Amino acid sequence: MNAPRALARDSAPDFAQLRAAAARIAAHAHRTPVFSGRSLDAIVGAQLLLKCENLQRAGAFKFRGACNAVMLLEDSQLAAGVATHSSGNHAAALSLAASLRGAPAHVVMPENASHAKMAAVRAYGGRIITCEATQAAREAAMAQVVARTGAEAVPPFDDARVIAGQGTAAMELIEDHRELDALIAPVGGGGLLAGTVIAAAAMAPGIAVYGAEPAAACDTFDSVRAGTRQPLRTTPDTIADGLRTSVGEITFPVIRDGVSAILTAREDSIVRAMRLIWERLKLVVEPSGAVPIAALLDNPQALAGKRVGVIVSGGNLDLDRLPWYRTRGDGDGGGGA
């Protein structure tokens, strides 16, 4: 195989760079397990294989991209630490990755970020700076932190180093299950979905790739339909806090050209899917991680009867604020896999 080309941060990585990222992070990131459950399959109407990134270090797939970015840096680049903006999972992941190199992490978080996710960032040694809950405020605050500290910027998704790392989750899933008909991953900024597209195109071109996002934050759906990026104009009101950001400038063309469709999910379906995964598979999954299952519930014909790899993106949430305590009904009941 050819050696990966020099990694330009402001363009999408190629598959060789995903392979290099996989080797680079192998000593640090978990190769997460794949779960399945017949009762969940029956409800969704498809054979599901769940790549459990909720069991990844720092509780989410974000550690893959953050680790790849940090491990690529020279010691001189890490002297002032790293900086980012994030609603939670990338913040924690970058804080952990930086700690493995003995470097500080400066993290801008929106003022409405989950208290549990902020606590996780602090536990990994991250230094939090809060800002207004808008994308513009987050990016502006990060630029100020970089200017003040000299830290290396590691954005949460629009960075080739990060995209390459995120794509390793799909690489592992395809390596373990070549028989898949389709892959589905949640999409916010698009790092995970773009990496999934790149991995699938190189490893198994016959596998269709789908994105899933909340109907209340459906900028990627709108963008793919329009053919041009349609950023969110306001902060969306969705329980899936990890997906409240607009799809990135680097990630969008990869997604637009590589997905079969973007499927959306209603808020009540996200809560239902999250509870189903907890009850049927005994897995702690956050709302963003349940969005792909919710999208399949709301679009039952899209992948009916197919063998579908689902990337469960994370499991970080406030256990004192579980969403079904704020909804009526008893859900779908218990049951095993």
- Residue whose token pair is 């999972």: 89
CA dihedral 57, 60, 62, 64 (to 10 degrees): 40
| Per-residue confidence (pLDDT) for residue 318, from 0 to 100 | 84
Could you give the angle at the alpha carbon of 73 between the alpha carbons of 72 and 74, nearest 5°? 125
Q: 4-42, pLDDT tens digit by residue?
A: 444 566 789 999 999 999 999 999 999 999 999 999 999
pLDDT-derived band at 283 (thresholds 50, 70, 90) equals very high
| Per-residue confidence (pLDDT) for residue 28, from 0 to 100 | 98
| Per-residue confidence (pLDDT) for residue 4, from 0 to 100 | 45
| Per-residue confidence (pLDDT) for residue 326, from 0 to 100 | 62
Question: Domains of the chain (ranges plus CATH)?
Answer: 15-60+159-326 (3.40.50.1100), 62-153 (3.40.50.1100)
pLDDT-derived band at 133 (thresholds 50, 70, 90) equals confident
Mean pLDDT of 308-313: 98
* β pairing state of 261-265 and 208-214: parallel
Say if residues 295 and 184 touch (Cβ distance below 8 Å). Answer: yes
Q: 242-257, pLDDT tens digit by residue?
A: 899 999 999 999 999 9
Q: 51-92, pLDDT tens digit by residue?
A: 999 999 999 999 999 999 999 999 999 999 999 998 889 999
* Whether residue 219 has pLDDT greater than 50: yes
* Whether residue 139 has pLDDT greater than 80: yes
Residue 214, phi then psi, degrees to nearest 5 = -65, 140
d(CA 171, CA 73): 23
| Per-residue confidence (pLDDT) for residue 57, from 0 to 100 | 97
pLDDT-derived band at 229 (thresholds 50, 70, 90) equals very high
| Per-residue confidence (pLDDT) for residue 136, from 0 to 100 | 86
Average pLDDT of the residues of the chain: 92
* Whether residue 337 has pLDDT greater than 70: no
CA distances from 300 to 43, 206, 208, 292, 305 (A): 10, 21, 16, 12, 10
| Per-residue confidence (pLDDT) for residue 331, from 0 to 100 | 42
Q: 294-306, pLDDT tens digit by residue?
A: 999 999 999 999 9
d(CA 57, CA 63): 6
Say if residues 109 and 86 touch (Cβ distance below 8 Å). Answer: yes
